[in-house]
Amino acid sequence: MFISSIPSLNGSNYNVWREKLEIALALFDNDLALISPCPTEPEDPVRAGNETDAAFATQQRDHASVRMKYDLDCAKWDSSNRKCLTMIKGSIEDPIRRSTLECTTAIEYLKKVESQFTGCSKAYASTLIKKLVSEKYIGGGITEHILKMSNTTSKLKPMDMGLKDES
Task: For 59-94, write each residue's pLDDT tens digit.
Answer: 889 999 999 999 999 999 999 999 999 999 999 998
Residue extents of the structural domains in the chain: 3-117
The pLDDT mean for the chain works out to: 84
Please report the pLDDT score of residue 138 as a whole number: 82
- The helix (run of H) or strand (run of E) holding residue 113 is helix 106-134
- 70-74, 100-104, 159-163: which is most confident: 70-74
Identify which of 1, 7, 10 has the alpha carbon closest to the alpha carbon of residue 94: 10
Q: Which one is predicted more confidently, 166 or 62?
A: 62
| Residue 122 pLDDT class (50, 70, 90 cuts) | low
Please report the pLDDT score of residue 11 as a whole number: 75
On whether the pTM is more than 0.75, the answer is no
User: Which of 72-76, 152-156, 161-165 is predicted with the least confidence, judged by mean pLDDT?
Assistant: 161-165
Please report the pLDDT score of residue 56 as a whole number: 87
Please report the pLDDT score of residue 40 as a whole number: 93
Identify which of 149, 147, 154, 157 has the alpha carbon closest to the alpha carbon of residue 132: 149
